[in-house]
Amino acid sequence: MRAVQAPIVPIVGRWVRETPGTISLGQGMVSYGPPAEAVAAARAFGDQPDDHRYGPVEGEPGLVAAIERKLAEENGIVVRPASRVVVTAGGNMAFFNAVLAVTDPGDEVILQRPFYFNHEMAIEMAGCRPVAVATTGDYQIDPDAIAAAISPRTRAIVTVSPNNPTGAVYPAAALRAVNALCAALGLFHVHDEVYEYFTYDGAVHFSPGSLPGAGAHTVSLFSLSKAYGFASWRIGYMVVPETLFEAVDKIQDTNLICAPLVAQRAAEAALAVGAGYARRRLGELAATRARVFDALDDLGPRCRAPRTQGAFYAYVRLDTGMDPLVLTERLIREHRVAVIPGTAFGVSNGCTFRVSYGALDGDTVTEGVRRLTEGLRAVLRS
């Protein structure tokens, strides 16, 4: 545990609390809350005796059935008979379940750099070794580089699309190549799709779990946190090969037993509302995205932020010798705006950071971007 990096969000959060009035472009959240139907379902919970007892480890039957329908209709993933759905307490738990199910201590799991920091942390907590493979200049995956990183201890390849922290959307061809590589070598393809609804400029989200035969070696991860404004409710889910279900069942029963039933009941109501709930927000998010990238572009060639097409992140490289953590603290203390330093995402060369714009309304975006660009100009002048 000493070797695992400290979670950066609480550190940045402490600096924000110590600097009143700071606008956070740090933690990845949306500005809206759950559908009214989900809140109503939660309020109606508790009238029956069974509401206060343990539920099935894999999730309430009604919610599991709703998830299976959603996967078939939206993702092209036919769950049974090759795989199973497991409802988890958020997407991070789903990932941790997957790592514990497919690895032994000392095994390796391949990530794409920049990577989501909690993924690296989970792999290290499991006693395994994360192997980070560089992405391209615009943060796309490189299947050839991934293949070159495979060793006899490799057990899984992780992809995240739309990506956190870069916002990159991986094309179907690249994800097909990774999935085929896993099938050929007996590895698991763990694919995180938490930001599935957040794509722009014609980018198309693709689920590799929909490929013929993929159910036997693909673990697909999802969450309601972003799409349905469900961050505090802690509901995610995973699609696991049937051969892994017994292991995941043991892991989750030991660690959690079952996701909270009140949140599961609310999640079932949210899924009944449907994907349109998130997609209705895409126009506003797209406008915010354009404002953020335009402002970063105006800083000139010493500030590079590829205009990726997904999630609600910009991943920025600044031409300065300043340490990213020092930059982050200076932006908070001196300019009252927060970002997340790139060192948390496994990038140690140069000064990089992630900007998150999903939680901001129009007026706050304007002020937050003004403070960010003002702070970056001050750094570039120094």
Residue located via tokens 């907590």: 125
Cα(120)–Cα(348) distance, rounded to whole angstroms? 15
Cα–Cα distance list, 84 to 44, 78, 141, 215, 242 (Å): 29, 10, 28, 9, 6
**What per-residue confidence (pLDDT) applies to 331?**
97
Residue 134 structure tokens: 């560089």
Instruction: Give the domain range for residue 372.
Output: 8-32+281-381
**What per-residue confidence (pLDDT) applies to 179?**
98
Q: What are phi and psi of 204, to 5 degrees?
A: -120, 130
The residues, any chain, with a CB within 8 Å of residue 47's CB and separated by 6 or more, are: none
For 66-99, write each residue's pLDDT tens digit. Answer: 999 999 999 999 999 999 999 999 999 999 999 9
Nearest to 373 by CA among 287, 298, 288, 289: 298
- 197 and 111 part of one domain: yes
Judge whether 236 and 192 are in contact, CB under 8 Å.
no
Which of the 8 DSSP states describes residue 310? B
**What per-residue confidence (pLDDT) applies to 10?**
87
- 250 and 292 part of one domain: no
CATH of the domain at 338: 3.90.1150.10
**What per-residue confidence (pLDDT) applies to 137?**
93
**How many domains is the chain built from?**
2
User: At 61, which helix (H) or strand (E)?
Assistant: helix 61-70
Cα(157)–Cα(191) distance, rounded to whole angstroms? 8
Judge whether 123 and 112 are in contact, CB under 8 Å.
no
* 3 within a domain of the structure (yes/no): no
Cα–Cα distance list, 118 to 8, 254, 345 (Å): 10, 20, 9
* 2 within a domain of the structure (yes/no): no
* 318 within a domain of the structure (yes/no): yes
Choosing from 275, 302, 332, the residue where a domain stops is: 275
**What per-residue confidence (pLDDT) applies to 9?**
85
**What per-residue confidence (pLDDT) applies to 365?**
84
* Residues of the chain below pLDDT 50: none
